Amino acid sequence: MARFLLVLKPLHPATRGKDQQSQRDLLARLDPVLLALKADVDHRTTAHLGALLREIGENQRMQLFADVQSKPEGLALELVLMSSESMGVGAPETRSAFEHLVQLSTEYLPDLELVFRSDQDGALPSPATK
């Protein structure tokens, strides 16, 4: 199973609140990214969403999960892209979709800092990133 993780944090302290409205607002900022990915959101709460990426990947059904995590230093947005593609062969379709997700996140969320990506930083975020 392929699984890629991306962690983003707000650059501006004013957007780092931990209340439910701040969580909801941070998650809602993903909407242009979801639209660009043609994602079908099938589950959404204050701080979590799940979506299917139906038009990405020729043979793989891909799922995107987003969670707003409340950390001591503020909020973090964690995006997980998953498919049934084998990591043993490098998961090329999922990796390509992940690269597209990173590019869209950079484009549509410029005031969020990319602090971790599992394909470059390792399988799990370091304690400093968490």
Burial class from Cβ neighbours inside 10 Å (0-12, 13-18, 19+) for residue 9 reads buried
| Rounded-to-10 torsion of CA 30, 31, 33, 36 | 170
Q: With 70 as the cut, is the pLDDT of residue 26 above it?
A: yes
Structure confidence by residue, pLDDT tens digits, 45-78? 989 999 998 766 556 689 999 999 887 778 899 9
**pTM recorded for the entire structure:** 0.83
Write out the H or E segment, with its range, that includes residue 93. helix 92-108
**Poorest-confidence range of 7-11, 20-24, 54-58, 80-84?**
54-58
Structure confidence by residue, pLDDT tens digits, 95-115? 889 999 999 999 999 989 999
Q: Which residue has the tokens 């990405």?
A: 56
Give the tokens for residue 63.
């799922």
pLDDT of residue 123: 52
pLDDT of residue 22: 85
Per the prediction, the chain carries an average pLDDT of 83
Q: What's the rounded Cα separation, in Å, for the pair 100 and 47?
A: 23
